[in-house]
Amino acid sequence: MILKNISAAKAELSALIERVEKGEEVLIARAGRPVARLVPYEGIARTRVPGALRGQIHIAPDFDDLPDDLARALGAMDE
């Protein structure tokens, strides 16, 4: 990780971008205190499509049933 003050980052922006492209992270500071982070651009996330996994996920019929010992431990069942 590289830490640069704003004035140094302005003067070395092209070099800092090259280092970011190689996988490094750059922190930009004001008076020695980090205020921004320069990281590689990862692109725009794809839009989610409702129902895209329809028919691919199956939930067991007893999914919501607690085992008796666990239900007693959680106070959901009388002893």
Q: Which of 4, 30, 33 is nearest to 17 (CA)?
A: 4
Looking at residue 45, its pLDDT comes to 83
Q: Over pLDDT 90: what percentage of the chain?
A: 65
Looking at residue 23, its pLDDT comes to 92
Joined tokens for residue 78: 């009388």
Residue 28 near residue 35, CB atoms below 8 Å: yes
Question: How far is the C-alpha of 40 from the C-alpha of 9, rounded, in Å?
Answer: 16
- pTM summary value: 0.54
pLDDT digits (tens, 9 = 90+) for 12-68: 999 999 999 999 999 999 998 999 999 999 888 888 889 989 999 999 999 988 899
pLDDT > 80? residue 78: no
Domains within the chain, CATH numbers bracketed: 2-38 (3.40.1620)
Q: Is the dihedral of CA 63, 65, 66, 67 positive or negative?
A: negative
Residue 43 near residue 66, CB atoms below 8 Å: no
